[in-house]
Structure 1
Amino acid sequence: MSHRGRWLSGACAGAVAVALLVAGSVLDTRPPRHGAGGGAGSGAAGTAVGAYLHYGSPGVERMAELSRWLGGTELRAGHTYLPGDTWANIEGAPDSLRSWARWRRERADRLFVLNVPMQERNEAGVSDGRVAELIRSGARGANDEHFRRLAGRLVDLGVPDTVIVLGWEMNGFDYTHRCRPDPENWKAYWRRIVAAMRSVEGQRFRFDYAPNRGGDAIAWTSCYPGDDVVDVVGMDSYDQEPGRTFDEQVRQPYGLQQQVDFAKAHGKRISYPEWGLFRHGDNPEYVRGMLAWFAEHRPLYHSITDYCPHGVWQCGQNPRSSAVFREFLSGGR
C-alpha cells in the first residue's frame, strides 16, 4: 500500500492524546494473556515495542509522549523512513537522522529501525517495463555507491547496528522497488545492496525482509534473496483483505502463519515493521488478535503505524481499539 500520508501525520497529536486518555480510562477491553510475552513484559522477553509517529525529529519527541500515555512502558523500537524521492535522501541526507541516532544511543537495548527504498522516485507510478530496467541496472551494480554512502553515514552517526527494512512491501503493485517485473534480478539487486552496505567498516546492520501480508502482486517467497543476506523476516500486516477476520489473516496463503513457519525454517527472527487498522474501521478484535500474536511468537520488534486511519494514539477515530492497545501494553498492567 502507498504511504504518502506518513509525511503529514501527527499534526494534532496532543489533542488526540487527551481524547484517547479518556477513552482508555473508560473502556475495559483487555485482551487475554498469552504467556510471558504479553503486555509490558514483552520487552523483557525480547520484543521491542515501537510506533511510527512521524518520519522526522517530531517522531522522536512523540516517543516519550506515547510512552507516558502507556503508563511508562518503554518504547524500544524507533521506526522511521528514508524518503524515496531522490538518491541524496536515500543516501541518508535528512537531518532528522541525527535525532534518531541520538535517541538510539541513549539506551543500549533500543533498536533503530530504518525503512530504506531501493530506487529513487519510489512512489512515482513508474511502469513495469521501466521498473524491470531499473532492477537490472541495480543488479549490475549501478547503485552500489549510494548504499555505501548510506552505510557510512549510519556508522558515522553511531548507529552501525540499525535494522534496515530494505525494499519493503516488494510483493506489491506500487513502489518502484517492487519485485514482480523481474524477480530473479530483484534478488540479485538486494544482494548487491547488502554487500555494498556490509563492505563499510564498523557496520553491524541487520537486514529485514518485509513483504505485505498475502499474495498481492507476487508470492513474497518468490522474491526471497537468500539466508545469507536476510537477518529478519518481517511482514506489514494491516486490517484489510485478504482476510476479513484476524483468524483468516493468520491462515491465508502467505499470511501470518506462513511467515512464522517460513522464518523458522530459515532460522530467522520475525518482525512487524508496519501494522494497524484500515479497511474495517475501529476493530478492537483485530488489535487484540495482533497483540496476542506478538505475545505468542515474540518478534524482534513490532511498530504500529500511528496516524489515521491506522493508529490508536494520534488518531481519534479508533477509541475502542485504542483502549485495547493501551490496556495491553500499559506499564501498569
Structure 2
Amino acid sequence: MTTGRAVRVAVAALLAVAAAAVGASPATAAGRPGGPGWVSGAFLPGHSAADYEAFGTWRGQPLDVAVDATARGTWQDTTSPQWLLGKWSRSSAPLVVLSVAMLPDDPSATMATCASGEDDEHWAELGRSVTAAGLADRLVVRLGWEMNGDWQKWSATDPDAFVACWRRAHDAVEAQAPAVRWDWSVNRGEGQGLADARRAYPGDAYVDVVGVDSYDVFPAVVDEATWAEQLDGPYGLRFWAGFARDHGKAFAVPEWGLYPGPGNTGPNGGDNPLYVEKMQGFFREVSGQLAYEAYFNEDAGYNAGSLWGPAQNPRAAQAYAAGLR
C-alpha cells in the first residue's frame, strides 16, 4: 500500500498548477480562499472559454478546471486539434482536462493497430500539437475514458489490448510533451464491457490521476440508502478513491451531474438538489486527495442536466452554487 505522503505529493503536483494561475500558494491550492476547499471545474459544450468564465461568474467561484473533449471523426480531429488547443492555451483556465478518444471513428483505427504500435505517429502528433500550443504544463489528457462500459469504440473487452494501446499512446505523447499528465477514468459501478475495470489499469508509471465518472443514475439518489449505494456499492465512489490512494495517485471525478434526459436508460432523480449536496459532501471528504471535480453541464436533450445556460434544473442549480460558498 502506498503511503499517504506519496498521495499528497501526487495531488500537490497537480494542484500547484492551478494555484500558480489563481494567485494562491500551493499550500492553499485545494480551492481558492473563500472557496469550497477543493479544486472545482466543469464541462460545458461548445468549446467556449468565455462560457466557462461566465459559468464561474454565475456560481460565484471561478473555475479551477476546464474539461473539454476533442472530436473523434478522424485521426486529425483527435490528435491534431490545433484550433482547440489554441483556444485553451489563450484562456485563463488554470488546469485544462482534455478527453481524448483512444480510437477515432475512422474504421481503419482499431485496438489492435494501436496496441501494436501502428498508430504511434498519430500520438506523437498529439504531443507535438500540445507543445506547439504551449499547453503541456497545464494539461491533463483523459485518454479512452469509461473504457469499462460498452458504449465506446475503445471499450476494454480485451483489457490487455487496452493497456498496450494506452502505454503506446502515453510514451509517444510524452516523448514530445513530457509535462502532460494522464487521467485514467472509469465509469462508476460494475462495467457492462469490463466488469472489473482494474484489469485495464495501465500501471503506475503510466497514470497520474485515477478518475471516476458518476451521474445521478444506477441508482438515482433519492434517500440515504440510494446514496450509500453510489458511495459504497461495488466499484463505487469510495472504492475508486481508495484505489487511487493505494497506488499513490491523485483522485478525480471528471464527470458528474444530473441525467434526467432520455439518453439515460435507468431511473433518475430529475432536478435533484439532494444528489448535488451529497456529491459536494463527498468532495469535502476526499479533498486531501482530490485533484479536481467537474460538473457535466450539458443542456442537449439526451442529457438535460444543465444548471446554467440554460438552467434546466433550477433547484439543483441553487444547491450547487450554495455548496461552493
TM-score between the two structures when normalised by the length of structure 1: 0.78
Q: Is the 8 A contact 2:65 2:97 kept in 1?
A: yes
1:92 deviates by 2.6
> How far did residue 312 of structure 1 move?
1.3
The answer as to 2:52 corresponding to 1:63 is yes
Q: Deviations over 1:213-240 (max 9, x none)?
A: 0012212111111111011000110110
Q: Secondary structure at the match of 1:303?
A: strand
Question: Which residue in the other structure is 1:117 paired with?
Answer: 101
Find 1:83's aligned residue among 71, 75, 89. Answer: 71
Q: CA deviation at 1:37?
A: 10
Check 1:37–1:199 CA distance in 2 against 1; reply closer, same or farther (3 A cut).
closer
Counterpart residue number, 2:89: 101
**Who is 1:240 aligned against?**
217
Aligned to 2:16: none
CA distance in 1 between partners of 2:228 and 2:310 (Å): 25
Q: Distance in 1 between matches of 2:181 and 2:82?
A: 21
Q: Which amino acid aligns with 1:151?
A: G
Deviations 1:47-97 (A, max 9, x none): 3211111242x2x011221122123x1211011100111100111335132
Which residue of structure 2 lines up, in the alignment, with residue 322 of structure 1? 317
Q: Name which of 247, 256, 262 aligns with 1:266.
A: 247
Mark the CA change 1:116 to 1:55 in structure 2 (over 3 Å): closer, same or farther: farther
State the 1:44 CA deviation: 8.3
CA 1:270–1:41: 2 relative to 1, 3 Å: farther
Q: What is the root-mean-square deviation in Å for CA atoms of aligned residues?
A: 2.3
Matched residue, 1:52: 43
Provide the C-alpha distance between the structure 1 equivalents of 2:112 and 2:151, rounded to a whole number of angstroms. Answer: 18
Secondary structure of the equivalent of 2:186?
Answer: coil
2:162 is equivalent to residue 177 of structure 1: no
Instruction: Work out the number of aligned pairs and report it.
Output: 277
Following the alignment from structure 1 to structure 2, what is the Cα–Cα distance between the partners of residues 55 and 148? 26
Structure 1: distance between partners of 2:76 and 2:169: 16
Closer, same or farther: CA 77–43 of 1 in aligned 2, 3 Å: farther
Bigger Cα displacement from structure 2, 265-274 vs 215-224: 215-224
Q: Name segments (4+ residues, structure 1) moved above 3 Å.
A: 36-45
The answer to whether the aligner puts 1:289 opposite 2:275 as a matched pair is no
Higher RCO (C-alpha under 8 Å, 6+ residues apart): 1
Secondary structure, in 3 states, of the residue corresponding to 2:210?
Answer: strand
1:280 is aligned to 269
Structure 1 Cα separation of the partners of residues 34 and 291 of structure 2? 10
Q: After the TM superposition, which residues 19-34 of structure 1 pair with which residues of structure 2 at under 5 Å, given as runs?
A: none
Question: Which residue of the other structure, out of 165, 170, 180, is the alignment partner of 2:142?
Answer: 165
Write the distance in 1 (CA, Å) between the matches of 2:30 and 2:271. 22
Give the conservation status (yes or no) of the 8 Å contact 2:185–2:210.
yes
Other-structure match for 1:221:
198
In 1, are the aligned partners of 2:212 and 2:255 still within 8 Å (CA)? Answer: yes
**1:195 partner letter:** D
Does the CA-based 8 Å contact 1:304-1:311 persist in structure 2? no
Report how far residue 42 of structure 1 moved.
Answer: 8.2
Cα distance in 2 between the residues matched to 1:40 and 1:249: 28
Q: Distance between the aligned counterparts of 1:148 and 1:210, measured in 2?
A: 22
In structure 2, stretches of 5+ residues that fail to align are 1-27, 260-267
In the alignment, structure 1 segments of 5+ residues that lack a partner are 1-35
Deviations 1:166-202 (A, max 9, x none): 100000111111111x1111111111111111111x5
- Output the CA distance in 1 between the equivalents of 2:103 and 2:174: 19
Report if the CA contact (8 A) 1:48-1:111 is conserved.
no
